Structure 1
Amino acid sequence: MTGTLNGLRVIDFGHYIAGPLLAELLAQNGAEVVHVDRPGGPALAGLPDSWLNRGKKRITLDFRRDDDLETASDLIRSADVVIENFRPGVMDRHGLGARRSRSTDPRLIYCSLPGFAQDDPRASIAAWEGVVASATAGYRRLREHWDWKARTHATVDDAGRPLFTAIPMASNAAALLGAFEVVTALLGREKTGVGAHLEIPLSEAMLQIVGFHLEMPDFVGPRLDMPKPCLGSFRCADGRFVDNVSYPRFVEKLLIAAGAWEDWVSDGLGDMGAVFSDAVLGRRAERAFEELIATRTADEWESLAIQLGIPLAAVRTPREWLSQDHARESGVVMTLDDPEWGPVTMAGAALHASRSGTTITARSAPDADRATVLDDVRRRLESTPVFPTGVDGDAGDRPLAGVSVVEFSQVVAGPITGRILADYGADVLKVSNPAPHGNNGFHGSYTNRGKRSVFLDVEDPDDSAILRAAVSNADVVVQNYAWGAIERYGFGYDDVSVTNPDLVYVSMDAFTRFGPWRARRGHENQAVAATGLSSRYGGDGGWPIYQPYLISDVGTGIMGAFGAVLGLLHRRKGGVGQHISTSLSTVATLNQGLYLFDVPDGHSAIEPTGPSALGWSAVNRLYRAADGWFFLGARDDRVNDLRDALGMSTEDLPGTDLSADGPSAIALERYFRMGTRDRWTALLASRDISAQPVREIVDVAHDPVWHDRGVLRYGVNGEGTDRAPVLGFTAHPWSVPPRSAAASGPLGIDTETVRAEYSAHPVPPTRGENHEQL
């Protein structure tokens, strides 16, 4: 298995995170990637580089040298795909921009990942990760904290303080979206012969994560208390924590197995419906549950939960996750022999492809492949056809037009995969559970726009026949149930591929479909708990604090779409269908990949963690001005410019210790409190230093620039409110399908139409005897 992208040549001009990570995802799937380093080495040297630049050839080029610029131009002329994440205009100034590059080769796919789009008024600012996060409500404010001992509300001294995270949410999201769009453009090129210029700004990629909360603003709010009894993290007998999902049937099942059910009944807590609807009973149940969890260790509770099929997970540290048996056996983490560090355990493959496969090899040292790269470029240019000059190729029709998708999914990740495929032209049939108790998750523009929606019951022979007819005629199936659930009804890959061998079957679950935990249930919170992501932000007493956004759910949805188009491209290039899978835990691991390492000498990547963290350094962190918080974004070598812009002396700001909580940071804290955010923004902008006010969700939701660009829009949200701010469409070069631009309508709206459509199709025999509802 050589990978779907075998034979594809990618030139990676990326620096920091987004560009290199996108290129690394392509390298995993067989692409030949040449990474171009700047003089002095990568922006993120050391352990981060060992992850971001795996599997690539490397050459160092200095754009100030004419001969190196010519080499860069030759690299582009030899490429299928070019990736860059500079500010808009930088590559153009060097003669390496998209328009010029594609004028000589209309088949070229040129992918730009700036902080802000080229026609966004903020395009010229230095878009550090913290700047983008602040502009997109990535650092949501904490107005209250949870007193975990008393489990009551208590106001924090520093009300309104943002919750900082070092996880590069925007860069990671842009890399995932970029990987999907690049492969989608490759599919389009297979049909039209023409490539595309893709622009995926980090800020607009971050809106994919924030977008859920435009429609569900109270789902995970700025408070850290949990809205349901028995939901969230609980301390165990060994001082560790477990995270539990609060579904009545799961809580009851756990109580019975733990021998506590009779006590709950005698205490008047035996009616789960009342417990979950009455605030007084809910509070009593929560305290009783807290006392119960404190009687066993975290490992004991997790073992019982696995046995019972309950979504509960022990909260691990990142290092514990790296050594966990399932993580290693499933390939979610892996060990490579790095040329600098020796054996390094780090994040593994992003997905598993049953036929095309994935390959990950250790990085090369910067410039180690210069001779090979230059020789290869020369040979390629000698054999590459010359295209007519002055051609700005049209990307053509929607690349997924004519692709038929059947989506069996619930909650967040699976529906996002289907929504993304629909946005790019696919005909997506969403199958929901008609039973009143069915868990169909959320419904609205964010998760389900652009789809046909049906209620069909796998227990009903007629409905099951319709589903089999739909699947037998589909190009793609998407499902995000736990392993074994959909298989019980004969809709697993092994069953449906018999009648449809060309089917691309995409599975998403909590803990991957390989290894000891393949059948485990789980949601976002269990994935971030088990992988160590939540422990990075532990509060007092080590209590885990969760990200305010569903970064693993959303990322898994994007990854599912990436897997789908990889499968379609593999099939288009002469292959057959296959089973492609990813998981919440895989994406949770990827999200922390920049810091997730285990090396023999115990060295680790520097990461600011905990609720008191404010940033990476004195010149790259959050500060409080007289009227609120903002993010200061600058390189360490810009201290003199920073001092001059602010009118500070060397005594005021010596700049010798630039740690995030050192004397320079303390001096800046005092100084910034004396002026407003607008004042500091204007002063610093004069020296090309970024100061971005921390924004709330409501500010983002009504941002006029993003509404003008269509990446946000006013429509019907998940609660049925008209003219509400909802997620729009990424500015890809293809037109938006009319169905996606329209209101999504209620679940099941297309049921009768679809019944009539498939009633005349020949139907394979029903398989499976278990009639438990999906």
Structure 2
Amino acid sequence: MTDRPLAHLRVLDFGHYLAGPLVGMMLADLGAEVIRIDPPGGPRWRDPAFDMLSRGKRSLVLDLKTDAGKQTALDLAARSDVVIENFRPGVMDRLGLGPEALRAVNPALISLSLPGFASTDPELASVAAWEAVIAARTGQFTDMGLNRQLMGINPSFTPLGLASAYGAAFGALSVLFALGARGRNGGEHIEVPLASALFEGLAYNSEQIESYPTRYQCPRETELNRRRAAGLPLNLSYAELDAFLDPFYRTYRCADGRGFYVVACSIVTHPHRVLHVLGLDELAATLPDFDAWQDQTDWPDEWALRNYPVGDRDRGRITRAMQAAFLTRPSWEWEALFGDGKAPATAQRSSREWLTDPHALASGLVQTVEDPRHGQMRQMGKLAWLEDDAGALDCPTAPEVDELRPDLARLLTEAPRTASAPTGNSGWLDGLKVVDLTNVIAGPTIGATLARFGADVTSVQPVSPSVDPWNAVVFGLQAHRGKESVLLNLASAEGRAALERLIAEADVVTMNGTDQQRDTMGLSPERLEELNPGAILVQLDAWGGPRRGPKSDHLGYDDLAQAATGVMVRFGGGPATPEEHAHFGTIDALTGYTACVALGAALERKRVTGKGGVARSALAACGAMIQAQFMYDFDGRPPFDEPAGREARGWGPFYHCYRAADGWMFFAAPIDRGAALARVPELADLSRVPEDDLAPSLAERFARESIAYWSERLPDGSVTVVPLGSLAVNREASLQVESTGDIDLTEATYRAIRHDQHPMGRWVDLVAPNAVRPASAAITLPSAAPKPGTHTRTVLARTGFSEAEIDAMIAKGLAGERWSPNYLPE
């Protein structure tokens, strides 16, 4: 074994297109030996993006339809730790390489399947699950973002590969966690349906709360609800949206004309910092500023500067003052000033600009590879890494086809992998103790994900909340499920001592913050080593990378990563009209999952070497990940001309949203193309129409019949038609009620749960944790997110504090039992 975290592992990568190769790339980036299995003639997806996804792998051409090819694959599987595939359900079984056949030659094997839809779903399992088909059926193109809804633009096609990105992250973390449990559970087969992963990754956009207080609705939501209730048209122009944007959550124009995105509505001190950087302290002094954790009936004014959103009375004047201030300097000056002032904001960039951004290159968030096919190639950097892994700075290239062939005979002489007899079907992380120091969405997603696999997670937050109720509680309903909650004053010596007792007993500590924030909290690698030599710190931030860069200590959130990496410019259609993708959580949730991948690698290294360390991921890395199929550049690269903007309906006529007689549908025939039309009498004459002219004619024909009609007539092999779903419709159709005690997480592709006995006193509908489906390991349905401080006494007693000491700590404000009388302030 070398000193790379996963250098002791061998992975067979049968993946094609995006999701499977992404898993293999992440494991290779962490040091695993990854062997890409190619069909005769080489990979079917011949694209520079596939070369990027193949970096660090070796290649072997096998004809799996022959006995010799199948036997070689089985012989390699017997000598490997992991097998990855993302074929349609049943394909690997037909090839003689299904889970049972693999387990017969290697009981220790972890096999991962990434189908488009769940293999157990009677309606969707057999659908040809192209990326956009999954997105269309799940709801990625429907009601996507408040801007689009107010403009009445629905659907909105986007080429972002969210399903593959979420699915790959879930796949990689589950493989690593299952490897760590092999000693107890033996080998394992895992299914991660990409549509389930997409539904779960967008969970924060489909959460529904009974009698949701209006105080948490932003101006765009209020206007949307007003228009719907009054039967008014949804027809705002992009310019008209400006009046409904919160001043601390929007794009401004700088002196150089570049857009500059501000997101300062989460932490209670951030609006003040923004106004201070802009030279608007006098304005700040005139704004209401009081405890936002009170019920609204007790507020001394109509809104508080510590609470999102800004009230109607002051929204316009704050916006105008900020607009005027931004016009006094160019964007690059503001970026430095905001970074130094610890105020979260960033300049808007295109994807191509991100690939040449000085910070991205310096930090390793973008890496430069000397590629034998493309020359000097810039591509997205590592998505998950360990801080002390020197190999995280390596920039390997893609393999030549059949690169492994000279070494094949030697590999096949190795002894097959063996496994001890399993002792049970426990959760992969049973007994793992986690101290969770995170807030908002991305960081808390780590602990919530670990909890479903059996980890014991204790959330530690301050006695006086640093985050407003919208961010802490509304998002926390999803992000803090399955955890204990303790409140400590970490600015005090006593609070720090209590935290250090928790850390001394923990296996893992999670935090979201920069290196400066980490060290200030007393969690530097050196201090962590003193407190608990074997502990692993999982650190997530906005701009961190394998190396330091000029923005490494700048603050940031999901939307800022979207702005900086090109997502907003892409989704909005250009630099003049940037828009956030979805409303929240697009990158946040994904970064929580990739941080779990980094943790899985750290746990695997610790299992082998006993060494702890710092496991990392970053929002900006995941901003690139959801654009993976475009996130590269080199001299001679074809234009960045993929579909973008609010009018996009697809990628050519054979991969496109069309309106049928009874609603919108997605038609996908990217391989069959004209031949698919020729097989249908009503469409056969269109098979001879040039593709550049075809979409209008197809739209007219499809409008004549129902979605069901075309779904029955067209699907054949790689061709499919699916109705455009929505997150809300899928949630309602898949809803199960928690109090019945009969929650199924395994059959349907989509699953949501109504927590009808929630401690906040309202029911809440949340996406179920069913993206990861092991064949044998246990999955825990996480308990409801507790009211902050619920477990303070229990946790302190468990760490050795007496009842009298706990009483004294609470009386002095060194510990706390609640933030407000109500779970959700009204």
What TM-score do the two structures reach when normalised by structure 1? Answer: 0.89
Matched position secondary structure for 1:636: coil
Contact 2:249 2:264 in 1 (8 A): yes
Q: Which residue is equivalent to 1:80?
A: 81
1:386 shift after superposition: 7.8
- Cα distance in 1 for partners of 2:64, 2:385 equals 38
* Structure 1 contact 8–32 (Cα < 8 Å) conserved: yes
TM-superposed CA distance for 1:605, in Å, is 6.3
1:334–1:347 contact (8 Å) kept in structure 2 = yes
Map 1:625-644 to 2 at 5 A.
Answer: 625-644=660-679
Contact 2:446 2:596 in 1 (8 A): yes
Aligned CA RMSD, in angstroms, stands at 3.0
Provide the rounded CA distance (Å) in 2 between the counterparts of 1:550 and 1:592: 16
8 A Cα contact 1:274 1:281, kept in partner: no
Q: Which residue of 2 aligns with 1:673?
A: 703
Q: Answer yes or no: is the 8 Å Cα contact 1:457–1:464 preserved in 2.
A: yes
> Which residue of 2 is the match for residue 200 of structure 1?
192
* Aligned residues of 1:507 and 1:581 also touching (Cα < 8 A): yes
2:765 equivalent to 1:731: no
Distance 1:206 1:458, change over 3 A: same
**Aligned-partner residue type, residue 709 of structure 1:** L
Residues 708 and 647 of structure 1: CA distance in aligned 2, closer, same or farther (over 3 Å): farther
SS at match of 2:196: helix
Q: 1:532 aligns with which of 557, 563, 566?
A: 566
Alpha-carbon distance in structure 2 between the residues aligned to 1:556 and 1:322: 19
DSSP-derived class of the 2:647 partner: coil
CA distance in 1, matches of 2:532, 2:144: 51
- SS of residue in 1 equivalent to 2:609: coil
1:235 aligns with 2:265: no
Give 1:167 shift: 1.2
Residue identity matched to 2:36: H
Structure 1 gaps of 5+ residues are 147-152, 764-770
Give the Cα–Cα distance (whole angstroms) in 2 for the partners of residues 615 and 345 of structure 1: 27
Verify the 8 A CA contact 2:99 2:189 in the aligned structure 1: yes
Identify if the C-alpha distance between structure 1 residues 643 and 433 changes in structure 2 by more than 3 Å, giving closer, same or farther.
farther
1:258 and 2:278 are equivalent in the alignment: yes
1:453 matched residue in structure 2: 485
Q: Secondary structure at the match of 1:485?
A: helix
Task: Determine the C-alpha separation between the residues in 2 that align with 1:718 and 1:287.
Answer: 42
Which residue of structure 2 aligns with residue 429 of structure 1?
458
Q: Give 1:229 shift.
A: 2.6
Q: Note closer, same or farther for the CA distance 1:290–1:61 as it changes in structure 2 (3 Å cut).
A: same
In 2, Cα distance between equivalents of 1:530 and 1:386: 47
Report 1:694-709 matches (<5 A).
694-704=724-734, 708-709=744-745
Do the aligned partners of 2:538 and 2:614 also contact (CA within 8 Å) in 1? yes
CA distance in 2, matches of 1:237, 1:442: 35
Q: Match for residue 715 of structure 1?
A: 755
| 1:620 equivalent in alignment to 2:655 | yes
Deviation for aligned residue 1:144: 7.4
SS in 2 for 1:678: helix
Query: Closer, same or farther in 2 for the Cα pair 1:160/1:600, shift >3 Å?
Result: closer
User: How many angstroms does 1:140 deviate by?
Assistant: 2.6
With 32-41 and 249-258 compared, the bigger mean Cα shift is at: 249-258
Q: Work out the CA distance in 2 between the residues paired with 1:363 and 1:605.
A: 22
Give the distance between the partners of 1:712 and 1:259, measured in 2 at CA: 47
Q: 2 CA distance for matches of 1:573 and 1:674? A: 63
Which SS does the other structure have where 2:59 is aligned?
Answer: strand
Q: Could you say which residue in structure 2 is the equivalent of 1:100?
A: 101
- 1:684 paired to 2:714: yes
C-alpha contact (below 8 Å) 1:88/1:124 kept by paired residues: yes
Distance between the aligned counterparts of 1:727 and 1:363, measured in 2?
39
Residue identity matched to 2:114: L
CA distance in 1, matches of 2:614, 2:141: 37
Partner of 1:768: none
CA distance in 2, matches of 1:719, 1:50: 50
Match of 1:337, SS state, is strand
Question: 1:601 and 1:749, CA in 2 relative to 1: closer, same or farther beyond 3 A?
Answer: same
1:521 corresponds to which of 552, 555, 560: 555
Shift of 1:15: 0.5
1:757 aligns with 2:798: yes
Preserved CA contact (<8 Å) 2:208 2:765 = no
1:417 maps to which of 424, 446, 451: 446
8 Å contact from structure 2 (residues 448, 479) kept in 1: yes
| Structure 1 residue 293 corresponds to structure 2 residue 322 | no
Instruction: Give the % identical residues.
Output: 30
1:324 is aligned to 2:364: no
Could you tell me which runs of 5 or more consecutive residues in structure 2 were left unpaired when the two chains were aligned.
Answer: 210-216, 225-233, 291-302, 737-742, 806-813, 817-826
* Distance across 2 between alignment mates of 1:584 and 1:602: 26
Equivalent of residue 600 in structure 1, options 635, 640, 656: 635
Q: Deviations over 1:671-703 (max 9, x none)?
A: 112222222122223666211111122211123
The 5 Å alignment of 1:397-408 reads 397-408=426-437
> Is the counterpart of residue 138 in structure 1 residue 140 in structure 2?
yes
Distance 1:353 1:140, change over 3 A: same
What amino acid maps onto 2:796 in structure 1?
Answer: R
SS of match in other structure, 1:511: coil
Check 1:551–1:227 CA distance in 2 against 1; reply closer, same or farther (3 A cut). same
| Matching residue of 2:499 | 467
Q: How does 1:326-405 map onto structure 2 within 5 Å?
A: 326-359=359-392, 360-365=394-399, 367-380=401-414, 383-384=415-416, 396-405=425-434
Could you tell which deviates more after superposition, 541-550 or 568-577? 541-550
Name which of structure 1's ranges 439-448 and 419-428 shifts more when overlaid on structure 2: 439-448
Q: Please list, as runs of the form range in 1=range in 2, the aligned pairs for 1:177-188 lying within 5 A after superposition.
A: 177-188=170-181
Identify which range, 407-416 or 303-312, moves more after superposition.
303-312
Report how many aligned residue pairs link the two structures: 741
TM-aligned CA deviation for residue 401 of structure 1: 1.0
State the partner residue of 1:309.
342
Answer whether contact 1:10 1:32 (CA < 8 A) is retained: yes
SS in 1 for 2:157: coil
Q: CA deviation at 1:269?
A: 5.5
- Which range moved further: 65-74 or 455-464? 65-74
SS at match of 1:713: strand
Against the structure 1 CA distance between its residues 5 and 375, is the aligned structure 2 distance closer, same or farther, given a 3 Å change threshold?
same
For 1:417 and 1:627, the matched residues in 2 are separated by 41
Mapping 1:212-227, distance limit 5 Å: 212-215=204-207, 225=241
Q: Counterpart in 1 of 2:158?
A: 165
Code of the aligned partner of 2:560:
Q
Decide whether the 8 Å contact of 1:173 with 1:206 is kept in 2.
Answer: yes
**How has the CA–CA distance of structure 1 residues 701 and 646 changed in structure 2, closer, same or farther, with 3 Å as cutoff?**
farther
8 Å contact kept, 1:315–1:529: yes
Q: Is the 8 A contact 1:349 1:358 kept in 2?
A: no
Aligned partners of 1:284 and 1:627: how far apart in 2? 45
Cα distance change of structure 1 residues 41 and 664 upon mapping to structure 2, 3 Å threshold:
farther
Kindly state the Cα deviation for residue 718 of structure 1 after the two structures are TM-superposed.
10
Q: Give the 3-state SS of the residue equivalent to 1:173 in structure 2.
A: helix
1:259 corresponds to which letter in structure 2? Answer: G
- Aligned-partner Cα distance in 2 for 1:522–1:143: 20
